[in-house]
């Protein structure tokens, strides 16, 4: 099915010379599995090689190129390295050091000869040395030493040199492909071809253009995929969901509150869509706490009234469980049967859910990605609700559509308001409903920014709140992904401190590495009030609902994204009373960081935060979660998206609507290759339909 052109690129890495099981494992750690992953493992930076006349102690730490004369070689043994004494043009001595050398140094560095060497200059005692020079050539071969060297993200045991070598092999294996992008546009941007762009991005030649081109390719592939799915689902007739309001009326009657105007309007818009036979594709945007769950349930009840099933996908197990509990509460007395399916339902229990789902005795299924896996068969899936869009890519959308005989209606909910440009790039065209009104009685959360220096004061006032029977969250700093263990250590240290201060029975902790049931147990204890203070890493970010909590402390707030801070803050202020959010920041922070915290302090309006944040830092964090997980871009960053998404959409439309797409466009083969390159399996049905 895949264009054959791509076979060499999709070959596993260990088909390359010199890649054995050990190296393969190291590469896997870097998420490099196939040759294409190597080609796209772009350098994080380039270091210059500095040509020098003399090996100068002032250059220690730099990568230099120098001409040297070889003197004596002191062969090493198992314990001592081989040392080659050389001198520079001024007669200054230095050593080239080789570990486990086995005669290699002697071969390339014959005593009495001149050589051009390059590597990182080190100091050893008062001696200058270069350990394992990267290049040793004769003085005439100067051109063989690159002036700038790519530096790659590495993992333990994998050297930059090794990885550079592999990458070069992968780049050599790039097939020749026809231009898939609109040729006029490519020309107007003075972009290199795809393969050249990859080579240049590695070599840091004309890097800006090269990377733009690579980013554009991804956006184009994504747009072509999204638009194709949209077009295909328009062609396939869906099913009009007609109901008699029987369940909706019961649902309304059972609610302990009145729906807000915004909720009513959104429900009406959704039900309007559902009553058409064109499949709905609608985005429900509403700030944290705006009441999206009730809207989603109303939509699902309509599906059930119409005799179909509904599925609700949550991004985490924790959220799935919470939704399940909330929905069950709201479903009391309606007779509607709701079940949950996550990685945790196993064995006989899981089998039973599968059976009931296939038989149609489950009306609503809530869960994590498990609910769209191959083994799951629905009797009649009429509506899918996706809560928190971030991790929902083209792939999953295809999987979902494949679950139903008739294309299901789709409702995507997001608590991170997304500016229009970004919704288009992320979802393609969708209709929108907005919950721009909060349920009554919500007081805005009072937000304060405090220097970390005043931690003691913060602990103090947290203590007062706990003594008076209140509940609080304490969120520990976010750290780089590479420091996950560090994040945990920091959180654990804080946990220990707070326990010693307030008593071990009052303080609990949740973090990402905990097992599901343990996490749930702690959350449940917090919800029930058995635990008063919940220390957490960002696992509590989305959806958790404990109205009694009125204080949110966030450490090193400057390290969080604004959207994320806003989400976290939304955990409090849910009970009607006054709530406080304390943002602790490092004593010294940048001007921009200051502005960002000021922004979040100044408003509780998620839509405003999203728009301003986009101006402040290009919307990176709105799309941030795309970086991990499915459907992420390899090269494109927020700036590329802002600049190139529109041209990519226009190009995709040109291809699909004016040139006849995969059926007749002159660039259909090239486009097939592109889409497959980035959207892989998701692309297969698309390409087949072409
Ligand atoms: P979201 O998912 O949009 O963040 P939820 O659906 O979790 O928000 O709702 C947040 C809280 O507000 C829940 O406790 C819910 O019961 C309550 N709620 C929802 N709608 C209303 C309303 N119209 N009036 C009062 N409370 C509401
Ligand atoms: Mg929610």
Provide the CATH number for the domain around residue 578: 3.40.50.300
Q: Which atom of ligand 1 is nearest to the CA of 260?
A: 23
Q: Which atom of ligand 1 is nearest to the CA of 259?
A: 23
Compute the distance from residue 424 Cα to the ligand 1 centre, in Å: 27
Question: Which ligand is nearest the CA of 291, by number?
Answer: 1
Q: Which of 254, 258, 283, 289 to mutate to test the pocket of ligand 1 (most atoms within 8 A of CB)?
A: 289
Please check whether residue 316 is in contact with residue 323, taking contact to mean a CB–CB distance below 8 angstroms: no
User: How far is the C-alpha of 640 from the C-alpha of 168, rounded, in Å?
Assistant: 26
Q: What do you get for the CA distance between the two ends of the chain, in Å?
A: 12
Residues 358 and 313 reside in one and the same domain: yes
Beta bridge partner(s), residue 65: 51, 118
Compute the distance from residue 325 Cα to the ligand 2 centre, in Å: 13
Using CB atoms within 10 Å of the CB of residue 172, give its burial: 0 to 12 exposed, 13 to 18 middle, 19+ buried: exposed
Q: In what order do the strands lie in the sheet with 381-387?
A: 338-341, 364-367, 309-313, 381-387, 409-414, 281-286, 431-435
The residue from 414, 435, 456 where one domain ends is 435
144 found inside a domain: yes
State the CB neighbour count (10 A cutoff) for residue 594: 13
Compute the distance from residue 290 Cα to the ligand 2 centre, in Å: 8
User: How far is the C-alpha of 458 from the C-alpha of 472, rounded, in Å?
Assistant: 12
Q: Which atom of ligand 1 is nearest to the CA of 435?
A: 3
Residue 157: per-residue pLDDT: 81
Residue 472: per-residue pLDDT: 96
The CATH number linked to 138 is 2.40.50.140
Question: Which ligand is nearest the CA of 266, by number?
Answer: 1
List of the chain residues with pLDDT < 70: 1, 233, 389-398, 416-428, 478-489, 538-544, 614-632, 680-690
User: How far is the C-alpha of 154 from the C-alpha of 161, rounded, in Å?
Assistant: 10
How, if at all, do strands 82-87 and 93-98 pair?
A: antiparallel
The residue from 151, 167, 194 where one domain ends is 151
The residue from 380, 405, 435 where one domain ends is 435
Please check whether residue 365 is in contact with residue 311, taking contact to mean a CB–CB distance below 8 angstroms: yes
Residues 276 and 326 reside in one and the same domain: yes
* Domain that includes residue 146, residue range: 45-151
Residue 604: per-residue pLDDT: 85
Q: Which of 251, 252, 291 to mutate to test the pocket of ligand 1 (most atoms within 8 A of CB)?
A: 291
State the CB neighbour count (10 A cutoff) for residue 323: 24
Compute the distance from residue 288 Cα to the ligand 2 centre, in Å: 7
641 found inside a domain: no
Name the residue at shortest CA distance from atom 24 of ligand 1. Answer: 439
Residues 371 and 298 reside in one and the same domain: yes
Residue 632: per-residue pLDDT: 63
Residue 540: per-residue pLDDT: 60
Please check whether residue 98 is in contact with residue 85, taking contact to mean a CB–CB distance below 8 angstroms: no
For tokens 């050593």, the residue is 95
Compute the distance from residue 432 Cα to the ligand 1 centre, in Å: 19
Name the residue at shortest CA distance from atom 25 of ligand 1. Answer: 439
Residues 272 and 308 reside in one and the same domain: yes
Of the candidates 353, 347, 349, 379, the residue with the CA atom closest to the CA atom of residue 366: 353
Residues 403 and 496 reside in one and the same domain: no
Cα angle at 224 between 222 and 226, to 5 degrees? 65
Residues 429 and 510 reside in one and the same domain: no
Of the candidates 288, 260, 266, 285, the residue with the CA atom closest to the CA atom of residue 386: 285
Name the residue at shortest CA distance from atom 23 of ligand 1. Answer: 259
Compute the distance from residue 682 Cα to the ligand 2 centre, in Å: 28
Q: What is the chain's Cα-based Rg?
A: 30
Structural domains of the chain, count: 3
484 found inside a domain: yes
Q: Which of 295, 413, 437, 439 to mutate to test the pocket of ligand 1 (most atoms within 8 A of CB)?
A: 439
Which residues have C-beta atoms less than 6 Å from ligand 1?
257-260, 263, 286, 288-294, 415, 439, 545, 574
């Amino acid at each position: 099915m895949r264009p054959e052109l791509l076979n060499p690129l999709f070959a596993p890495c260990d088909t390359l010379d010199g890649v054995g099981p050990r190296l393969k494992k190291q590469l896997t750690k870097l998420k490099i599995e196939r040759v294409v992953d190597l080609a796209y493992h772009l350098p994080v930076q380039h270091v210059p090689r500095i040509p020098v006349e003399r090996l100068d102690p002032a250059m220690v730490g730099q990568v230099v190129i120098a001409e040297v004369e070889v003197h004596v070689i002191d062969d090493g043994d198992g314990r001592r390295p081989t040392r080659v004494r050389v001198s520079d043009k001024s007669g200054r001595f230095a050593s080239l050091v080789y570990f486990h050398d086995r005669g290699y140094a002697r071969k390339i560095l014959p005593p009495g000869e001149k050589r051009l060497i390059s590597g990182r200059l080190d100091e050893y005692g008062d001696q200058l040395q270069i350990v394992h020079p990267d290049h040793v050539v004769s003085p005439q071969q100067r051109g063989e030493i690159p002036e700038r060297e790519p530096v790659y993200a590495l993992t333990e045991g994998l050297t930059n040199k090794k990885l550079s070598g592999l990458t070069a092999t992968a780049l050599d294996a790039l097939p020749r492909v026809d231009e898939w992008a609109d040729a006029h546009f490519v020309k107007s941007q003075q972009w290199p071809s795809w393969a050249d762009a990859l080579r240049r991005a590695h070599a840091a030649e004309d890097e800006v253009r090269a990377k733009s081109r690579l980013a554009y390719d991804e956006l184009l592939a994504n747009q072509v995929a999204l638009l194709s799915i949209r077009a295909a689902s328009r062609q396939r007739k869906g099913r009009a969901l007609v109901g008699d309001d029987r369940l909706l009326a019961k649902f309304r009657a059972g609610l302990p509150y009145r729906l807000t105007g915004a909720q009513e309007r959104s429900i009406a818009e959704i039900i309007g869509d559902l009553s058409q036979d064109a499949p709905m594709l609608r985005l429900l945007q509403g700030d944290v706490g705006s009441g999206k769950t009730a809207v989603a349930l109303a939509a699902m009840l309509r599906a059930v009234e119409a005799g179909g099933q509904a599925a609700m996908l949550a991004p985490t197990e924790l959220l799935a469980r919470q939704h399940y509990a909330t929905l069950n509460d709201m479903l009391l007395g309606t007779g509607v049967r709701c079940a949950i399916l996550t990685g945790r339902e196993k064995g006989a229990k899981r089998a039973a859910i599968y059976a009931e789902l296939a038989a149609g005795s489950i009306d609503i299924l809530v869960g994590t990605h498990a609910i769209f896996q191959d083994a799951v068969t629905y009797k009649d899936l009429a509506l899918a609700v996706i809560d928190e869009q971030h991790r929902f890519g083209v792939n999953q959308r295809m999987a979902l559509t494949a679950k139903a005989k008739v294309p299901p209606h789709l409702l995507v909910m997001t608590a991170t308001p997304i500016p229009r440009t970004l919704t288009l790039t992320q979802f393609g065209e969708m209709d929108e409903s907005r919950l721009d009104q909060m349920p009554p009685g919500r007081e805005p959360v009072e937000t304060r920014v405090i220097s970390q220096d005043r931690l003691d004061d913060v602990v103090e006032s947290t203590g007062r709140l706990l003594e008076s029977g209140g509940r609080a969250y304490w969120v520990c700093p976010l750290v780089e992904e590479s420091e996950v263990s560090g994040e945990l250590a920091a959180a654990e240290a804080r946990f220990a401190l707070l326990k010693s201060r307030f008593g071990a029975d009052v303080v609990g902790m949740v973090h990402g590495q905990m097992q599901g049931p343990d996490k749930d147990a702690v959350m449940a204890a917090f919800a029930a009030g058995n635990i008063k203070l919940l220390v957490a890493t960002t696992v509590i970010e989305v959806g958790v609902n404990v109205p009694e909590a009125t204080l949110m402390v966030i450490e090193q707030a400057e390290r969080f994204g604004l959207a994320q801070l806003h989400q976290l803050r939304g955990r409090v202020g849910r009970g009607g009373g006054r709530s406080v959010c304390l943002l602790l920041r490092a004593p010294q922070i940048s001007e921009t960081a200051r502005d960002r915290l000021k922004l979040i302090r100044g408003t509780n309006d998620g839509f405003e935060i999203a728009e301003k944040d986009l101006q402040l830092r290009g919307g990176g964090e709105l799309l941030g979660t795309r970086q991990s997980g499915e459907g992420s871009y390899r090269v494109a960053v927020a700036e590329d998206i802002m600049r190139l998404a529109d041209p990519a959409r226009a190009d995709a439309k040109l291809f699909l609507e004016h040139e006849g797409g995969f059926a007749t466009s002159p660039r259909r083969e090239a486009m097939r290759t592109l889409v497959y390159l980035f959207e892989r399996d998701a692309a297969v049905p698309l390409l087949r339909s072409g």
